[in-house]
Amino acid sequence: MKIQTILEPLREDLRRVERRLREAPMVEEHPVLTEAIDHLFSSGGKRLRPTLVLLVSRFYQAASERTIALAAAVEMLHTATLVHDDLIDGSLMRRGSPTLNARWSPGATVLTGDYLFARAAHLAAQTRSVRVMDIFAHTLMVICTGELRQLFDRSEATLAREDYYRRIYAKTASLFALSTEAAAVLGGAPEDEIAAMREYGHQLGMAFQIVDDILDFVGDERTMGKPAGSDLRQGVITLPTLYYLEWHPEDPIVSSVLNGHRDDATVAQAVQRIRESGAVEAAREEARVFARRSRQALEAFPDQPPRQALWSLADFVVERSL
């Protein structure tokens, strides 16, 4: 099933989410914030996290205003993390468009990210569920802790596999798990189904981030909006690099990049070696393992259109090229 097929029944609800994202706040908003929000939400994005909220909600009820608020909250939270990530990483482009920190001072960028976090919390509060707010706050703590861990790990020339898993859970899978778990909570699901939906989101998010890390080596640079090997250039070790280092621990080129020698020619050589080693294929197979685990979490649910869509979403996440 193609992503367009999955999204088609959700079009009207996704439009409601977009309207909620751009809805005027209850406080007077500085014009630069309005401009930033318009820029951020006009630059594309797959809207996978709101899609997860909407699909899970369909097991229990039609998309209520509380569900739309939750879907908008997780997308706003995701966007806030991107603003801060781009500043921390020094990224000047995302999805082919300039990042906020490419246009503004660090202080203005940080404050805009903070404002988006506040907007996300405000949207989450509109679910009128203390439990959803608790899941939301816990997820934000996990994300921030993970970002700090990645910052302090960057000086390391090696990274244990479990450290990588913990990092990508914090970076990505925690938000997927928030989307599916909170939607089930809001739908009044029994506890075993809430746990199953959280597991689905967790495993799907792990697969998603592994594929993101793969695309950093093999994705089309024009489509991705950034050069190949961006993570490696920043000294960030991802799964393809981990596989390569396990197989070639003494490689002088890759080791040189990880130790700080990151001129364009050396990074290009390192990327080429990793591409040609089989490491990308090994990482893709690992992503498929996580996707299979996500589908296993759906086995207790009735074979209805939402389950079929979530099942197909796992295939899309692993096989996508963007």
Q: What's the CATH number where 79 sits?
A: 1.10.600.10
pLDDT score, position 259: 87
- The segments of the chain whose pLDDT lies below 70 read 1, 26, 44, 96, 153-158, 222-225
pLDDT score, position 158: 58
Position 1 in a domain: no
pLDDT score, position 157: 55
- 94 phi and psi angles, rounded to 5 deg: -145, 130
Position 181 in a domain: yes
Position 157 in a domain: yes
Tokens of 214: 């793969």
C-alpha to C-alpha distance for 306 and 275, rounded to whole angstroms: 36
Q: CB–CB of 201/177 below 8 Å?
A: yes
In three-state secondary structure terms, 265 is helix
C-alpha to C-alpha distance for 83 and 209, rounded to whole angstroms: 18
C-alpha to C-alpha distance for 164 and 258, rounded to whole angstroms: 15
Position 45 in a domain: yes
Domain range enclosing 39: 8-319
Find all residues with CB under 8 Å of 238, minimum gap 6, and list them.
164, 213, 216, 231, 232, 283
13 residue type, one letter: D
Ramachandran region, residue 238 (left: φ > 0; alpha: ψ -120 to 50; beta: rest): beta
pLDDT score, position 225: 62
pLDDT score, position 142: 97
pLDDT score, position 156: 52
pLDDT score, position 36: 86
Q: What angle do CA 43, 105, 73 make, to 5 degrees?
A: 45
**Length of the chain as a residue count:** 322
Query: How many separate domains does the chain show?
Result: 1
Ramachandran region, residue 32 (left: φ > 0; alpha: ψ -120 to 50; beta: rest): alpha
pLDDT score, position 154: 55
Is residue 268 classed exposed, middle or buried when 0-12, 13-18 and 19+ CB atoms within 10 A define those classes?
middle
Position 254 in a domain: yes
Position 202 in a domain: yes
C-alpha to C-alpha distance for 121 and 104, rounded to whole angstroms: 24
Position 3 in a domain: no
- 235 phi and psi angles, rounded to 5 deg: 80, 15
- 213 phi and psi angles, rounded to 5 deg: -70, -35
Position 2 in a domain: no
